[in-house]
């Protein structure tokens, strides 16, 4: 576990240093980000304000003093800035992970490691799930028993749809992505964003 943590730290440090070499203003213009100045780039990540220090590359949450963003959180932000394509646009078509270009190979692991535990966690606790989404300020939808549209970033929405279980069927959750999400980030980051989405429902 210590070795894995050390490797994660090395990867984050590599990307932090890489950020310092990027044309940061060009990246902001590419994505339509106007919330930056000479000191920081400001981004909302799952509705929570984050800041990237332009001189150090370090990512912080100004409203959460002492909070240290984790690996998925940090890498999702760096990947969003780095991999988003010029002129990227959402399609408006919502699809499962298996239908996202270059991401379908991760579906089985994502189901086992993220969706199934999430559905089990909230089985019989739909109201708790609803309240968690409301606390985060996510947009409620009318699908399933509980559903929300969730902004991973301002231009990267996700949709969570939860059905509670009964005597015949266990609880189930679907996470939907815009078909063009890989225009905004690396395919592996799509999986990270999905896991992060589920995490925020259980940590608020």
Do residues 169 and 157 lie in contact, with contact meaning Cβ atoms separated by under 8 Å? no
Q: Provide the CB-side half-sphere exposure for 5 (13 A, CA).
A: 3
Radius of gyration from C-alpha coordinates of the chain? 17
Write the burial class of residue 153 (CB in 10 Å: 0-12 exposed, 13-18 middle, 19+ buried). Answer: buried
CA distances from 128 to 31, 145, 146 (A): 35, 12, 10
* Residues 137, 118 contacting (CB under 8 angstroms): no
pLDDT for res 4: 65
> Is the full-model pTM beyond 0.85?
yes
Q: How do residues 51-100 score in pLDDT, each as one tens digit?
A: 999 999 999 999 998 899 999 999 999 999 999 999 999 999 999 999 99
If pLDDT is split at 50, 70 and 90, which confidence band does 162 have? very high
């Amino acid at each position: 576990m210590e070795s894995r943590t050390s490797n994660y730290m090395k990867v984050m440090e590599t990307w932090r240093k890489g950020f310092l070499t990027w044309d940061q203003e060009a990246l902001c213009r590419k994505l339509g980000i106007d919330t930056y100045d000479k000191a920081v780039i400001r981004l909302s990540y799952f509705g929570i304000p984050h800041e990237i220090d332009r001189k150090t590359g370090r990512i912080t949450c100004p409203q959460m003093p002492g909070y240290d963003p984790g690996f998925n959180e940090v890498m999702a932000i760096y990947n969003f800035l780095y991999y988003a394509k010029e002129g990227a646009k959402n399609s408006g078509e919502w699809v499962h992970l298996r239908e996202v270009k270059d991401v379908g190979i991760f579906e089985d692991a994502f189901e086992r490691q993220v969706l199934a535990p999430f559905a089990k966690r909230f089985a019989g606790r739909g109201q708790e799930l609803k309240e968690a989404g409301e606390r985060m300020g996510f947009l409620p939808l009318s699908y399933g028993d509980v559903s929300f549209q969730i902004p991973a970033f301002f231009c990267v929405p996700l949709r969570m749809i939860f059905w509670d279980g009964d005597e015949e069927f266990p609880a189930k959750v679907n996470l939907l992505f815009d078909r063009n999400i890989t225009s905004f980030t690396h395919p592996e980051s799509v999986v990270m964003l999905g896991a992060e989405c589920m995490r925020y429902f259980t940590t608020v």
